[in-house]
Amino acid sequence: MLAAAITNVASPIDAVGGRVIDRTPHWLERFAVQTFGTNDKAALRVGIVVLLAIAAALIGRAATTRPRVGDVGFGVVGVIGFSVPSILGAVVGAFVLRRLLRPTPIEVPGPSKAPLGWDRRRFLVTGGATAVAATSAIAVSKVVDGKRVDDLRATTLDTLPPLADGPSPSIPAGATQSPVTPFVTPNGEFYRIDTVLSFPRANRNSWAVQIKGMVDTPLTFTYDQLQALPQVERTVTLCCVSNEVGDEYVGNAVWRGVLLADLLAQAGVQPGAQQVFSTSLDGWTCGFPVELAQDGRDAMIAFGMNGATLPLEHGWPARLVVPGLYGYVSATKWLSSIELTTWDREGYWIPRGWSRLGPVKTQSRIDVPRGGSSIPAGAQKIAGIAFAQHTGIAKVEVRIDGGSWQEARLGTDVTDDAWRQWVLDWQAPAGKHSIEVRATDKSGYTQTAERAPVAPDGATGHHTIGVTVV
Ligand SMILES: Nc1nc2c(c(=O)[nH]1)N[C@H]1C(S)=C(S)[C@@H](COP(=O)(O)O)O[C@H]1N2
Ligand SMILES: [Mo]
């Protein structure tokens, strides 16, 4: 880990973890996400350390009688790590184990149960020194790595240049109807979903995004060149296809960036191009139909989020945002290239059991009251959000205890690309109640009550909660 931190590469645990993530079968990935949620990465790291500890114990035990097993065992672990730091770690490990187990000719004063040549004192001293050295090395690697991420984060704190058309209009107060959910999700509260264990280490000065493939003129933009292009600010709700009905993997932000349609027009998309296929600095990929980049929607390369430079967690230096599509087919963070190509190319999640096309399904969620909570009888507000990005929300209805559907009051319609908040006044009678919500979008479609799982293309069903009124 120390060698990895000093040479600025992923630690062996993260390197192995990354390959585990990429190779995890679909059912195990779903299980991990369902069990650990967004702590799945921490769980993976713990799992790797536990497996390593078990392997080390077995290797050490076997090496007491056959020292060769120690060398081979460490060799295998080093090779699995598949990096110079992990091989270095394996060499150090094998060397220490040899030292620990080396027999010393010693005087045995009387009958002893210890194996002949076993020097307990030396074992304890060497073992203790190794433990101290290893712990310190890990601590130093954490400091070095933390410093590097801090430095990277510091570069993301540049202020955004002023917009040519002046500041964008502020969000009307009427957009917010839910007492607990802000209309614009603050950056620090915005959900985060990705496959990386450590942030791609982009350099502000050498980073550039390429537009290539089936275009007349391939283009490359550095960070400064991108920021010098005409910019827009758009309020767009982003949602993960893994969002279960009523779940939290959805957020709304004001994105600042450059319209993709302008860049594609400049590059000249060739006939036959079917897919806008993007790749991130960490090698993650996704793609969506070319038509959606040219049908007038505000697909963009974003480098700002809610008035600040795009945070590292959300894709600094730049990412894609495409209204109306789930993130897994469109929202590449830490963007590296955009390639115009055919459907022959498959994005990261497609061979892993997810649909090729990922239009967002119309959904609604109850945020107040909280499911399972107790609330006092009398005047109450039922409130939440509804989204149908790039179609827009026309109506939200609530039903209590399976009664008739009652229309909720909708928040100001800011844009069809963002969620809409809603609220319903309720005279809550004492007892246990169920509250159910459904939205109708501007195409006239009303959410189906039929439950569909998140895979392969997004969950359906009505969010329903239970509350106790006392
Ligand atoms: N490089 C990269 N970009 C990515 C992903 C990823 O794993 N790697 N995940 C995507 C998915 S599945 C979603 S839902 C969105 C989430 O964006 P956020 O973390 O900013 O909310 O990012 C998308 N972009
Ligand atoms: Mo996602």
Q: Is the CB of 280 under 6 A from ligand 1?
A: yes
Q: Look over the chain and give the mean of its residue pLDDT values, rounded to a whole number.
A: 93
Mean pLDDT value of segment 197-224 = 94
- Output phi, psi for 299, to 5 deg: -65, 135
For the chain, counts of helices (H) and of strands (E): 11, 19
Q: What is the per-residue pLDDT for 397?
A: 98
Of the chain, the percentage scoring pLDDT greater than 90 comes to 75
**Which residue's CA lies nearest to atom 20 of ligand 1?**
314
Whether 175 has a pLDDT exceeding 80, the answer reads: yes
DSSP alpha helix (H) spans, 24-119: 26-36, 40-63, 67-81, 84-101
- Token digits of residue 406: 């009652």
Sheet holding 219-222, edge to edge: 219-222, 208-213, 335-341, 275-280, 285-289
Confidence at residue 99, expressed as pLDDT on a 0 to 100 scale: 87
Neighbours of ion ligand 2 (CB under 5 A): 193, 240, 327-328
Is the CB of 314 within 6 Å of ligand 1? yes
pLDDT digits (tens, 9 = 90+) for 103-126: 766 555 666 655 556 678 888 898
Please state at what angle helix 12-23 crosses helix 40-63, rounded to 10 degrees: 110
Segment 424-439 mean pLDDT: 98
**What secondary structure does DSSP assign to 155-203, as a single string?**
HTTPPPPPPTT-SPPPPPGGG---SSS-SSPPGGGS----S-SS-----
Architecture of domain 173-352: Alpha-Beta Complex (3.90)
Q: Which of 85, 116, 120 is nearest to 3 (CA)?
A: 85
The residue whose C-alpha atom lies closest to atom 21 belonging to ligand 1 is 192
328 lines ligand 1 (CB under 6 A): yes
Residue predicted with more confidence, 22 or 464: 464
63-91 mean pLDDT = 90
pLDDT at residue 64 in the model: 86
Tell me how far the alpha carbon of residue 331 lies from the centroid of ligand 2, in angstroms. 9
Percent of the chain scoring above 70 in pLDDT: 97
- pLDDT attached to residue 194: 94
Q: Say if ligand 1 is within 6 A of residue 334 CB.
A: yes
Q: Are 336 and 319 in contact (CB under 8 A)?
A: no
- CA of residue 431 to ligand 1 center, whole Å: 42
**Which residue owns the Cα nearest ligand 1 atom 7?**
194
Look at 120-124, 283-287, 395-399, 413-417 and tell me which has the smallest mean pLDDT.
120-124
CB of 255 shorter than 6 A to ligand 1? no
How many angstroms does the Cα of residue 67 sit away from the middle of ligand 2? 48
| 2-24 as b/e: b if 16+ CB within 10 A | bbbbeeebbbbbbbbbbeebeeb
The segment(s) of the chain belonging to CATH 2.60.40.650 are 363-469
Please report which ligand is nearest the Cα atom of 286: 1
Q: Tell if the pTM clears 0.85, that is, is over it.
A: yes
Q: Is 332 in the pocket of ligand 1 (CB under 6 A)?
A: yes
* Ligand 1 lined by 277 (C-beta under 6 Å): no
Name the closest ligand to CA 458.
2
316 in contact with ligand 1, CB cutoff 6 A: no
Domain ranges in the chain with CATH number 3.90.420.10 = 173-352
For residue 326, give the ligand 1 atom closest to its CA. Answer: 14
Q: Which ligand is nearest to the CA of 316?
A: 1
> If 0-12 CB within 10 Å is exposed, 13-18 middle and 19+ buried, where does residue 409 land?
middle
Q: What is the Rg, in whole angstroms, of the alpha carbon atoms belonging to the chain?
A: 28
CATH architecture of 363-469: Sandwich (2.60)
